[in-house]
Chain A
Amino acid sequence: MIIRRIAVAIDGSPHSLASIEAARDLALSMEAELRGIFVEDDNLFRLAALPCSSEIRPYSSEARPMEPSELEQAVRRQAREAEEALIRAIGQRVIRHSFTTCRGMVPEAVVAASTESDLLVLGRSGRSPTCRRRLGSTAEKALREGKRPLLLMRHGFRTAGPLLLLYDGSEGSRRALEAALALSAEGGLLNVLVLAGDPGESLHMEEALQAELSARGVEAEFHHLRPGDAKTLAQFIRMADSGLLVLSDEMHLEKEVVLELVSELDYPALLV
């Protein structure tokens, strides 16, 4: 996996802060360029222009009308904060970086802006009102329509931590393996969940992979599971609790199952 440019979507939410750190770490290890993207939400400006718009603030008992000029300022401030967060995360490290602000519908704008990059990093959800566990609309859009590889980060996780690779011998899972090896820290443990319908085949795959990994000096721990629906997989992965999930949507598994798994699972995921 060759990554030259990494795009990271920033909206100031906790997940997006985790995304910045993940993108920075990757940029550093792959000597890639980092590009921060902030989208000024068109919906907000439309809302502010409506005659009936009013804003409800936490810890305040009264709703107040929205002023387009105030909103403009507030959004710019957010953009500035996003840029500052990116610069702060980079700190003293030598990373080529840039920051772009664009206006539009957030999911579309993010997906569009990422087309020029080799990897899109974004939070599993943004500053949504409900703090939902499921994927946010932007992530959902990127997952369904965006390009690969895609890293969906979650607050509280790091890419340098333990990894769980979904492997079924398919071309897609081979790519995932390469990505996982590129990500996994030196001497780090790689957890591999081997998916095969037949136990014999499963063991066979493990042996082959074990030999390959040993040759490359990587220590791995293997788990076996019969391929099933997204719910069963998610259940198992939660039990394993091994951090970042690395997988491909071009495996023997149905693409829909993979997408549902990523969407359902409350873990960061790198989709290649």
Chain B
Amino acid sequence: MQLPLRLPPDQLRRRCDPLEFSFETTAELDGRREAVGQKRALDAIAFAMAIRHDGFNLFALGPSGTGKQTALMHHLESVAPEAPVPDDWCHVYNFEKPRHPKAMRLPPGRAMELSLGMDHLVEALFTVIPAAFSSEEYQAQEKAIHEEFQEEQAEAIGALEKKAADESIALIRTPAGFAFAPVSKGEVIKPDEFMKLSDGERKEIEEKIGRFKDELQSIMSQIPKWQRQTQEKINALNRSIADFALRPLVEELKNRFETLQEVRAYLDAVENDIVLNFYQFLEKSQEPGDSVKKSHAFNRYRVNVAVDNGKTIGAPVVYEDKPACRNLVGDIEHLSQMGTLVTDFTLIKAGALHRANGGYLILDARRLLMEPFAWEALKKALRTRQIRIESLGQLYSLISTVSLEPEPIPLELKVILLGERRLYYLLNAYDPDFSELFKVAADFEDELEADTEGKNSYARIIARVARDQGLRHFSREAVARTVEYGGRLAGEGGKLTARLQEISDLVHEADFHAESAGRATVGAEEVEQAVQARIARASRISEKIREATLKESILIDTETEKVGQINGLAVYEAGRERFGHPTRITARIRLGKGEVIDIERETELGGPIHSKGVMILTGFLGARFGMQQPLSLSASLVFEQSYGGVEGDSASSAELYALLSSLSGLPLRQSIAVTGSVNQHGELQAIGGVNEKVEGFFDLCRARGLTGRQGVLIPKANTLNLMLRPDVVEAAARGEFSIYAASHVDEAIELLTGVAAGEPDAEGNWPPESVNGRIVAQLGSMAERLKAFSQNNETPE
């Protein structure tokens, strides 16, 4: 078995050669907006935007900062302006059903024109209608109608009066009505004279009076009818006058909207309503409260423009930053009047769906889901393909007042949700509507290929950020350093991170350092400074732990050799930064029944993956050493001084080395820290966070003094992920620190013990001096001891 490879310095860090770039500084680049290395996602976007069927809305998923919005906007900027401009929409009063305001569609820009036209109409009517009604013609006609009534009445009564006078009976007006009385010489007969008359004469008079009384009563009964007729005539006159005054104004509006049948029908309704309610325009407001009441009355002739596309170029692209329900589907607002809430159609407020209708609506999925009722409201709109404005307050009976039900507006748009992958998968799993409504997913990559194109795209992004934000441009060396940083963030060989927000932030930070240094261009040093500053800012916890280790509060041996003890490597996450630190792992054995006790699991400090790793290594032990004899041991494994819990299987190889050392009695080099998971065949498998782990051990060793014997053993499969800090690489180059790569446990144990692992012969026997040979011998001896112990303690039958 060969020894693990000591990796040469050039494999420890993938350098980006500044000479790969053809430019001197990023100022030479156009810095166009683009989505780099996201072909899959871009194809999905192009498809979703082009297909015109229902439900082909888009969910752009990927980690934040991967340029989802940039990619979308880039695509929409090229597509949207070519699309037709959608129509305008407005709400108008419904004269037949006032509680159901009408929604009216008009060609782009015409809604505002109609709104202004109606405002002017109302304004003009305040002049025109009072003028028409104060004209002499009107006054004369009105007077004539009144006089006609008077005449009619006077004629009827006059005729009766005359008839009565012929028979010496006068019709007299009393304080409350009328009465007939016998007269003589123009005066009512005095009562005593009347009594002097003969019975016959009196009876005759009474009979006459009774007759005239009946006649007068029959005339009186006609009066209400005459009054009604007069009022009807007056009304008809008023209407004709109002209509005459109004018609030219309305006609002018109608002519402007000649081709729009719906608008013409609306204007007809307006005309009828104004003719019926012309008197509103005659009243002069005197009391202070009147203006409110008045404006309320005239609101009905206003046009509430919901969507004005007059200045829109192509299809609208709307990004709603706060996708609350009322901001999406609109709302019906209320006014407080004398302590009560009132509303009318002019208080209908359009939402983002209205504005984006006929175009594209971009929403952040997380924000959308966090807004109460918003997700359901959006789905309902998409499913029914119409926007129905409902006030939440009314829907849930929070406000009890007169409500409106505006006519729904047909909806045709593309909704684009931006969100994390987890949200997409959760929605897919739990919301049956989701897959119906969002049929296309644009899955954004986390990484880019670290090829020439990828590196150049970094340069273009830097150029764009510098240009857009007015920052210094980067030299090619600075770009190269940024690319290296991107590679480190990707954490995977041959890749660069696609979380471009991180890169953009780094550009800002490097620019800050360049400014402090008085540089015109950002150089590699400033980028390095920015990177180091980032690390330093997040280093409080790592330094505390290192300090505790140096003071030996945390026991980490980096010098000697010990049996059953090894330095594993753990990665800690603190906010955005991650760092590594060694952890002592120990193994002790005793006689037992072949089980490995994971103390972490027993104390419930170990996670399931960690437990799995321990069981795997138990499997490896059993398979290798338990075929010839039973494993008569109990082993216990522990992460010393670990109190916060352990998860992951990256320490399973370290645990195995500690166990093998314990079994073989061979001490392990404490100067080499190990990482890597192991399978049941003893092969080492890749783990995450390799760079942080190596650097964590390096930092501790450097603090204690590099001896040249110190190093880290990593799985060979992780070699590609190495992107170590320059100081680590330099130490390795000077031979002060080593990074070894092994692919099998046997290779590693040889490095750690200095003793060959050994290879079994044809019978499966291990060389006695090898590590495995010693283990077999030890296990044999333990089995014997156990057997002897068992026999000695057997109870005779």
Contact = CB atoms under 8 A, between A and B. Distances in A.
Contact of B174 (A51, A55, A59): A55
B177 to A, nearest CB: 4
A56 interface: yes
Contacts of A55: 174, 176-179
Residue of B174, B181, B205, B209 most packed against chain A (CB within 10 A): B174
Interface string B346-366: 000000000000000000000
B179 A54 contact: yes
Contact of A59 (B150, B213, B224): B224
Interface string B695-706: 000000000000
A77 B187 CA distance: 23
A42 B191 CA distance: 12
A66 interface: yes
B796 to A, nearest CB: 133
Contacts of A130: 153-154, 157-158, 161, 171
Contacts of B224: 59
Contacts of A53: 179, 181
A55 B176 CA distance: 8
Given A43-B188, A47-B188, A130-B161, A61 B176 contact: no
B150 to A, nearest CB: 5
Interface string A63-86: 100100001001101100000000
B154 A71 contact: no
Given A58-B220, A129-B172, A47 B179 contact: yes
Nearest to B223: A58
Contacts of B188: 42-43, 46-47, 50
Interface in B147-179: 150, 153-154, 157-158, 161, 170-179
Contacts of A1: none
B187 A56 contact: no
A131 interface: yes
Nearest to B220: A58
A56 B150 contact: no
A80 to B, nearest CB: 12
A63 B220 CA distance: 12
A205 B206 CA distance: 61
B157 A74 contact: no
Residue of B161, B175, B217 most packed against chain A (CB within 10 A): B175
Contacts, number: 100
Nearest to A133: B154
Contact of A44 (B153, B174, B186): B174
Residue of B177, B186, B224 most packed against chain A (CB within 10 A): B177
A103 interface: no
B217 A50 contact: no
B221 interface: yes
B563 interface: no
Contacts of A92: none
B154 A44 contact: no
A49 interface: yes
A52 interface: yes
B194 interface: yes
B97 interface: no
B181 A74 contact: no
A78 B173 CA distance: 13
A53 B188 CA distance: 11
A47 B178 CA distance: 11
A51 B192 CA distance: 11
B177 A57 contact: yes
A43 B181 contact: yes
Interface in B203-239: 205-206, 209, 213, 216-217, 220-221, 223-224
A3 interface: no
Contact of A78 (B172, B175, B223): B175
Contacts of A128: 173
Interface residues of A, number: 34
B157 A129 contact: yes
Interface string A99-140: 000000100000000000000000000011111110001000
B536 interface: no
A60 B177 CA distance: 10
Contacts of A49: 190-191
B189 interface: yes
B269 to A, nearest CB: 38
A52 B220 contact: no
Given A43-B187, A61-B221, A131-B153, A75 B175 contact: yes
A44 B188 CA distance: 8
B206 A52 contact: yes
A63 B153 CA distance: 19
Nearest to B183: A43
A173 B209 CA distance: 48
B649 to A, nearest CB: 104
Nearest to B175: A74
Contacts of A58: 177, 220, 223
A50 B172 contact: no
A60 to B, nearest CB: 8
B178 A46 contact: no
B190 A46 contact: yes
B174 A71 contact: yes
A184 B170 CA distance: 41
Contacts of B216: 56
A89 B116 CA distance: 47
Nearest to A44: B174
B139 to A, nearest CB: 10
A56 B178 contact: yes
Residue of A46, A74, A129 most packed against chain B (CB within 10 A): A129
Nearest to B182: A50
Contacts of B205: 52
B158 A132 contact: yes
Contacts of A61: 217, 221
Contacts of A133: 154
Contacts of B154: 130-133
A245 B288 CA distance: 43
Interface in A219-270: none
Contact of A56 (B189, B202, B213): B213
A127 B173 contact: yes
Residue of A47, A52, A58, A59 most packed against chain B (CB within 10 A): A52
A46 B173 CA distance: 13
Contact of A46 (B161, B189, B217): B189
Contacts of A43: 170, 172, 181, 187-188
B150 A54 contact: no
Interface in A20-61: 42-44, 46-47, 49-61
A71 B172 CA distance: 13
Given A43-B181, A50-B189, A105-B187, A71 B161 contact: no
Contacts of B191: 46, 49-51
Given A47-B181, A53-B179, A129 B173 contact: yes
B171 A50 contact: no
Given A43-B181, A50-B194, A56-B216, A129 B161 contact: yes
Interface in A184-205: none
Interface in B55-79: none
B118 to A, nearest CB: 39
A42 B187 CA distance: 9
6 contacts: A46-B191, A49-B190, A51-B194, A55-B178, A57-B176, A129-B161
Q: Which 4 residue pairs across A and B have the least CB separation, nearest first?
A: A57-B177, A74-B175, A49-B191, A46-B188
Interface of A: 42-44, 46-47, 49-61, 63, 66, 71, 74-75, 77-78, 105, 127-133, 137
Interface of B: 150, 153-154, 157-158, 161, 170-179, 181-182, 186-191, 194, 202, 205-206, 209, 213, 216-217, 220-221, 223-224
Given A44-B174, A56-B179, A129-B178, 16 more contacts: A43-B188, A46-B187, A46-B191, A54-B209, A55-B177, A56-B213, A57-B177, A66-B179, A74-B175, A74-B176, A78-B175, A129-B172, A130-B158, A132-B154, A132-B158, A137-B186
